[in-house]
Structure 1
């Protein structure tokens, strides 16, 4: 290791992070500053912060490792991220969210939903869901960054978790959303440079773009028999339609994460930070390019890493992580590839790329947990600005503590599963209600409440008792019934979102239809 180079880069990175966090602290004078950065953020900063919060180590390390196992079919997730996560999110959700949030004078996503439906219950229930589920996603992000530090710096995993968690905690605690957005923009630029360099050097190492993809296609005959039985057809082809792997890729990864982004509270609040709808349109192109280069590169490099490990170690990427007698771990594929295949300067640049990806997402997660716990679950403090600001900062402690605990308790290879789980839960519980809040005037508070509760209960039951991947991780079904899942194929691998989202939508429409106000119905009948 070139310690001098590493320390120089570390000092520069931490220096910029501290400076930008200090700027956020200097400009954070009120609860509005802390929660929505004053509502006057530049559109470029908003777009970069949105992208950096959207894409984390879960995408780079977790889903990059998944791409090494399942192949380039994950590039459809990148396409879905750009189409839905950027274009649809900005144009059809972002503009209306900013406008309505400004009219309602709200500062958080739960407060937005509660004010739109004039329902304190909706506000508190959605804040509770966020407070309890967000730490799972945050832990997945933290694990991704810590695993790379563990591999690249030969550092103890626990030490790695604590180090950068403390850094993120410091600038979120003091700087609020202003500090988060300032540092996110810097980290987004680092991520772009690091991922572009990684893509270029990967193709160089494997003999060029065409040669690399031809080599990857030629590995088709090396697909492990267990994966082939589940529908794997090689790393440059989609799994067999209707197979277990096809359902996992399409329903859990592409649909769950690609569409689930629309209902992410930490992203929706970004639209509240700009001064006008025009600013959201201005950030559209920057957001799309960012998504193209970050997850797009991660999934491509993840799949291509198999070529490198076959040529240099005689085994596929996943098997290479078990070298030396350890357990195979999909979350260590990308870190192992970087440390073995890339020049030393890129190892360090990629270290800061991953730290940036982790910190930018974690900061948004800690911020939304903080405001949910301290502001939305304690709405009595709304009139006391200083107290609200203090409690928002203290609420960060809750998210920090729970996330650290989960980062040490979750099993190996959990990053992609935990990410998809949180995205799916938010999509089922919030997306129908959120969409109706923006576009359907006839939706009623009772319809929104029943939809949110039904979706949450159904999704949770399927995760704990039916869907095999998560049911096996939590182990509740095994303890209660003596089996890992109560269902049989294909329900054991069809994502819970496929069931919970339609139920949530039907309940929303049905209950709203039968609970229309008498006055409104009478007026409509007279027309």
Structure 2
């Protein structure tokens, strides 16, 4: 089992080999980084396989494997719709419809960052600064969530302090992002991507083999529908192989809106406007490389998201069949928050008496003993609230929850069910997932701050050599901010939430201006800036005052409502609806209306943006300057 504390010399040797390989690839990236174009977009000569795997490894992080895999353990296989959107939207639409226009316009305008692409397309320093500021200010939240997930797993897996694990993650990431730029990031992403592939293949195979095959595993999980905790049933949970109940106007439909609007739409659509992913399209030489990358990226994403979502759901079945024996003590959940949190959950302890009947274990003052929730099981007894439970084969029937942290489900399953050697491999996969995403995040943070903020605020002329020193310093600043957030916020449940928040924010603020700028000549700079402002403003307002989970955590809404977690706390369903549902349509409408009544771009500039002849001339100039 992998639940042992500490590291053996074999564990240390395997990890060192992996880190040495990562360091070597980072050194190759550093050696190949001779210009700002190398640092920013890999010299625009990246191989399609490297680009596809790097794109996927950047896309997939501990948020997907641990965070959303754990959420699947709570909510079930309805999360597979996110895998469908990840492939259909994040790969097919992104590569086939957005990849080539992004690559082409980026080459024509000489753009190196996502913010610079928008700024040059709209001839607006304000647009570029706005985009750079949003990325620099909010991406550290996403980075911190990824870093926290990896650090918690490492600390739990090997019995080391969280602070030590966090420091290791930060130093390793900084070691190859700061000097090596995007080439180092993409080389190491590729190695990490293949480690993730091997780990997910084995994880999926092992789980199904333990449960009697694909058909038997899914039949068993379907039959466990009546084992869903009562609090989850109350918000629409109908079983781990079913979609939540759909409707409007009652709390029993809350889960549908949590799963569909926040998880499926927020992350599945928001991927189109992710700055660290969009810049990948500008790293290849032609559309041919993008087309060749589509099947590679699709298979990678299918495996990297599908496997943890399936395994997270099936972990419920595995624990029902193979979970730890209770040795005569049953712990039954008697109080938990409606959204699955168990910070205030308690369990009543029961045991079998000589006659075989299950009776309460008495504590102080001869009252039934209660302890903080550890394992939820089912035994045909009634607790103080009158809820009935049924014991299954003397084992825990629902996976262990620790303080309601969904991200603990996958690590707990790995440490309980899998052989010890796989714990090391899975740790490397998580390390790979976290580092590949964090490296791209910090690279994007640094280039946005250096290129889109520092150089624009100081009015550095476009076309001049970018300041690599400023960008590398910005990477370090972003890293320090993310580490500080990770050190302060350790609740693993924030991983999935922070991911959805950042993806949704990018969709509302960037997507209309980004897609409109690629395909429509009539979109104006005023329209783009207004759209970005509306998208960000509504998203921020929704998170501060409407969406109960985030608003109550921030605390500002309580000052306005007198203690209520949302301005719409008394209106069913709205407090769990994600801001993307409101912000993205309004942001798009703003772009259309404002562009219709404001000054159109100059014809000469539109020719520069959209003329293929201009692209060929630009490519020849770059080749002449190179050789």
State whether TM-score is above 0.5. Answer: yes
1:49 aligns with 54
Q: Report the more deviating stretch, 1-10 or 350-359.
A: 1-10
Scaled by the length of structure 1, the TM-score of the pair is: 0.95
Question: Is the contact made by 1:381 and 1:388 (CA closer than 8 Å) also made in structure 2?
Answer: no
2:618 aligns with none
Matched, 1:409 2:498: no
2:541 aligns with 461
Distance 2:56 2:137 in 1: 24
Distance 2:401 2:427 in 1: 25
Q: Which of residues 569, 575, 582 is equivalent to 1:499?
A: 582
Structure with more of its chain in helix, by fraction: 1
1:103 aligns with 108
Scaled by the length of structure 2, the TM-score of the pair is: 0.80
Distance 1:191 1:458 in 2: 37
Q: Report the more deviating stretch, 406-415 or 377-386.
A: 377-386
Question: Is the contact made by 2:401 and 2:409 (CA closer than 8 Å) also made in structure 1?
Answer: no
Question: Is the contact made by 1:94 and 1:280 (CA closer than 8 Å) also made in structure 2?
Answer: yes
Question: Is the contact made by 1:318 and 1:333 (CA closer than 8 Å) also made in structure 2?
Answer: no
* 1:273-284 to 2 correspondences below 5 Å: 273-284=283-294
Question: How far 1:331 sits from its partner (Å)?
Answer: 1.3
Q: What is the CA deviation profile of residues 170-195 of structure 1, one whole-angstrom value per residue up to 9, with x for unaligned ones?
A: 10001110100000000000000011
Distance 1:476 1:449 in 2: 27
Q: What is the CA deviation profile of residues 313-362 of structure 1, one whole-angstrom value per residue up to 9, with x for unaligned ones?
A: 47899989835995231111111110110001110000000000000000
Distance 2:520 2:411 in 1: 46
Unaligned runs of 5+ in 1: 521-527
Divergent runs of 4+, >3 A: 313-326, 380-387, 516-520
* 1:245-264 to 2 correspondences below 5 Å: 245-264=255-274
Distance 1:228 1:325 in 2: 17
Asked which structure has the greater CA Rg, the reply is 2
2:14 aligns with 9
Distance 1:19 1:175 in 2: 11
Question: Is the contact made by 2:547 and 2:577 (CA closer than 8 Å) also made in structure 1?
Answer: yes
1:295 aligns with 305
What do you get for the CA RMSD once the two structures are aligned? Answer: 2.0
Q: What is the CA deviation profile of residues 198-251 of structure 1, one whole-angstrom value per residue up to 9, with x for unaligned ones?
A: 111111222222221122112111111111111100000000113111111111
Q: Which of residues 39, 64, 70 is equivalent to 1:65?
A: 70
Question: Is the contact made by 1:40 and 1:275 (CA closer than 8 Å) also made in structure 2?
Answer: yes
Q: Which of residues 112, 130, 141 is equivalent to 1:136?
A: 141
Distance 1:515 1:321 in 2: 59
Question: How far 1:409 sits from its partner (Å)?
Answer: 2.2
Distance 1:519 1:128, change over 3 A: closer
Distance 1:517 1:348, change over 3 A: closer
1:425 aligns with 505
Question: Is the contact made by 1:147 and 1:331 (CA closer than 8 Å) also made in structure 2?
Answer: no
* 1:231-380 to 2 correspondences below 5 Å: 231-242=236-247, 243-311=253-321, 312-313=323-324, 322=374, 327-379=403-455, 380=459
Unaligned runs of 5+ in 2: 248-252, 334-339, 343-371, 376-399, 604-627
Distance 1:125 1:276 in 2: 29
Q: What is the CA deviation profile of residues 393-424 of structure 1, one whole-angstrom value per residue up to 9, with x for unaligned ones?
A: 11111110110111122352111100000000
Distance 1:486 1:74 in 2: 28
Distance 2:266 2:373 in 1: 27
Q: Which of residues 434, 439, 448 is equivalent to 2:519?
A: 439
Structure possessing the higher relative contact order (Cα contacts under 8 Å, 6 or more residues apart):
1
Question: Is the contact made by 1:151 and 1:339 (CA closer than 8 Å) also made in structure 2?
Answer: no
Distance 1:327 1:382 in 2: 53
> How many residues are aligned here?
520
